[in-house]
Amino acid sequence: MNFALTPRKIPYEEIICSVEDCLFKNNIGKEDLEAIRQDISSLLRRSSVPKPNLPKDEFTALINLRIRPDLTILRADKGNATVIMDTSEYNFKILQLLSDESTYKKGQNRPHNVIA
């Protein structure tokens, strides 16, 4: 959960769109806009993909875990650990916790933003 994989390619379009969105929202002056765009363009041209931070077999194992719908991956309640659970077991435990009427009360089935 606290570990980021190095990207396989640089997301140029995503970076450019994010920068343009930020520039638009902050009402940057025309001269500054062009200077920032030039700087970003220059940085992107010089950039290269970093070396992988996981061996190929570990990367493949991680991807295979992520795509399995029968598994749920989540942060442990205590400690800095990751838990991998069977999804049906996880759902059962959640429903079991929520069915405890001494802890939880049923609410109205109405969205919060609806005014009565």
CA–CA separation, 91 and 89 (whole Å): 5
3 belongs to a structural domain: no
Q: Using one digit for the tens of pLDDT, what is the confidence trace for 69-110?
A: 999 999 888 888 889 999 999 999 999 998 888 888 877 776
Provide the pLDDT confidence category of residue 8 given band limits of 50, 70 and 90: confident
Looking at the structure, tell me whether residues 88 and 66 fall in a common domain: yes
| Euclidean distance between CA atoms 60 and 50, whole angstroms | 18
* pLDDT tens column, 15-58: 999 999 999 899 888 889 999 999 999 999 999 999 999 999 99
**Domain span at 78:** 56-98
Kindly state whether residue 88 falls inside one of the protein's structural domains. Answer: yes
Q: Is residue 19 part of a domain?
A: yes
Q: Check whether residue 69 and residue 90 sit in a common domain.
A: yes
Task: Answer yes or no: do 29 and 60 share one domain.
Answer: no
CB 92 within 8 A of CB 18: no
Q: Is the residue at 112 inside a domain?
A: no
Statement: residue 114 has pLDDT above 60: no
Q: How many domains does the chain have?
A: 2
The predicted structure's pLDDT at residue 92: 95
